[in-house]
Amino acid sequence: MEKRQWKPIAGFDFKEILFDEYDHIARITINRERYRNAFTPLTTHEISVALDHCREDGGIRVVLLTGAGDKAFCAGGDMHVKGRGGYVGGDGVPRLNVLDVQMQIRRLPKPVIAMVNGYAIGGGHVLHVVCDLTIASDNAIFGQTGPRVGSFDAGFGASYLARIVGQKRAREIWFLCRQYSAQEALDMGLVNKVVPLAQLEDECVSWARQIMQLSPLAVRMVKVGLNAELDGQAGHPAAGRRCHHALLLPRRGARGRQGVSREAQARLGPVPPLPLTGWGLAAVLCVKSR
């Protein structure tokens, strides 16, 4: 196992997560080992703030999401703070906003790898599901528990799960609330790779490094395209924004639309012989601009 000097990312006073960085990789660790890394409204708020930072900091290329210790990735919503109206935070307001965090992970224009180091249960299971990739330790256990405790996630936790494992399996996972071993999760395509716990971080960092050798723009465009399949109408603004950003990248200074258009044409040479429009044309422009 390689020894790495993870450096805390300055400027934050997080109570329930750790946030550090190594070699352009940000690591967000839910730091509630005592409660199997179950999340409270404060935890999800802190994850959200950290993800915002990851989005804005151009030096960060890949994000790892994990849990503290060697027993759990995340055991979902903290049942101890479940009260009237939902999960109640320190301000007395019942809100968890974990669905917003899921959306943030999907919208982040950088890959997010779930480093699953133990139980990924309930809302914690959905968290790994919405990450771009999942690498699990051999002691990891997966499953939904919502219906057992009168709860559910009918958003990505249902629809995206079904896209990954198929409708029958997704219904089995939710209707029976069974737990699945890392090997079973691998067999059903729910995780990308399983490694011994001691090698988990090495493996994740190795995957991150491989990703970082590729074009960040191409990776972000593919992510938005993969998301669009499930996001429907809501995916169009995200995809459009990425395309627009990609088109503007080669522009030097504020030369206006005319200049951009001429630059784009110069890069392309003659008008492409293929009937490219919309996404296709944007893709050609992106590739040419790299």
Interacting residues toward ligand 2NE by CB under 6 A: 35-36, 38, 71-72, 75-80, 96, 98, 119, 121-123, 145-146, 149, 151-153
Q: How far is the CB of 165 from ligand 2NE (least distance, A)?
A: 18
C-alpha to C-alpha distance for 12 and 19, rounded to whole angstroms:
8
CB nearer ligand 2NE, residue 78 or residue 132? 78
CB nearer ligand 2NE, residue 99 or residue 287? 99
Q: How far is the CB of 74 from ligand 2NE (least distance, A)?
A: 8
Q: How far is the CB of 78 from ligand 2NE (least distance, A)?
A: 4
Q: Which of 223, 231, 192, 245 is nearest to 62 (CA)?
A: 223
Handedness of CA 66, 71, 76, 77 (dihedral sign): negative
- Output the residue with the shortest Cβ distance to ligand 2NE: 76
b/e map 245-274, b = 16+ CB within 10 Å: ebbeebeeeeeeeeebeebbeeeeeeeeee
CB nearer ligand 2NE, residue 126 or residue 247? 126
The 3-state secondary structure of 136-186 reads: EECCCEEECCHHHHCCCCCCHHHHHHHHHHCHHHHHHHHHHCCCEEHHHHH
Q: How far is the CB of 162 from ligand 2NE (least distance, A)?
A: 16
Taking the C-alpha atoms of 92, 94, 97 and 98 in order, what is their torsion angle to the nearest 10 degrees? Answer: 110
Q: How far is the CB of 171 from ligand 2NE (least distance, A)?
A: 16
CB nearer ligand 2NE, residue 12 or residue 152? 152
CB nearer ligand 2NE, residue 37 or residue 134? 37
